[in-house]
Chain A
C-alpha cells in the first residue's frame, strides 16, 4: 500500500501570496488531518476532514482553510502569507471510523511540505 503523499515537498513564497498544499491519503482512508510544525510552537493541529466534511478545527486564523474531495484527497490553502507561516506542514490519514467504536485509528503521516515565506 502506498503511503501518504504530499506535494509539493518544498515551496518558497513571498509575503502576501497564497499557497495550496496537497495531500493524498492512503487508499481506503477517509480521514485527513493537517498539522503545522514550527521550532517555536511545535506541532499544532490545523484541521481534520472526513468524507469531505471538516470534523475538527484547531486555533488558526481564517487565512488557513482546507477541503477534501470525494476521493479523500485533501488540500489546504493559506492566503495572505506571513513570515510566521514558514513551517513544515504535515498531513496524516486514518480510516477515521474507529472513533465510532471508542477506538483510536493510527494516523499515518506524510513526509510534509516545507514552506518558506520570504
Chain B
C-alpha cells in the first residue's frame, strides 16, 4: 500500500510559471525524498529532507516539510518544458540494519505547456 498521497494527481501549467505539488504521509519518518520520472523510465533523485528540517532548496526546487501535519510540498520555480514528468515523494525509516525500504506516494503528473 502507498504511504503517501500526492496532490494534485495531474497538473498542467504554462512554461515559466511555478508548480507546486503536495505529499501527505501516514507514519513517522526519518527522511522524505522527492524523485522525478520521465515517461515510465527510472527515477531520478531530486532532493532529500530530514525529519528535523523544515525547508530545503536545490536550484529551482524548494521542498518544505511539516511533520506535525505529515506533509511535504515541492515547488518548482520558473518551470521549463523539460520539467514535464511525474514527481513522487518517498518516505523511509532507518533501522539499525541500514536503510529501510522507500515507500512511494502516488505521484503527480506535471505537464509544462510551451
Contacts and interface: CB of A to CB of B under 8 A. Distances in A.
Interface stretch (B16-24, B62-70, B74-82, B92-100): B92-100
A92 B45 CA distance: 11
B107 A42 contact: yes
Nearest to B107: A42
B42 A56 contact: no
B71 interface: no
Contact of B99 (A94, A108, A111, A112): A94
Contacts of A102: 30, 94
Size bracket, chain A contacts: 35 or more
Interface in B34-48: 35, 40-45, 48
B2 interface: yes
A56 B30 CA distance: 17
Nearest to A30: B98
Secondary structure type dominating chain A contacts = strand
A31 interface: yes
A34 to B, nearest CB: 10
Interface in A51-80: 55-56, 58
A45 B92 CA distance: 11
Given A104-B30, A104-B33, 6 more contacts: A35-B102, A50-B97, A100-B98, A108-B45, A112-B42, A114-B40
30 contacts: A31-B99, A33-B101, A35-B102, A42-B2, A42-B104, A42-B107, A43-B107, A44-B104, A45-B101, A45-B102, A56-B101, A88-B40, A92-B43, A92-B102, A96-B98, A98-B98, A99-B94, A99-B97, A99-B98, A99-B99, A99-B100, A100-B98, A104-B33, A104-B48, A104-B94, A107-B102, A109-B42, A110-B42, A112-B41, A112-B42
Interface of B: 2, 30-31, 33, 35, 40-45, 48, 50, 88, 90, 92, 94-107
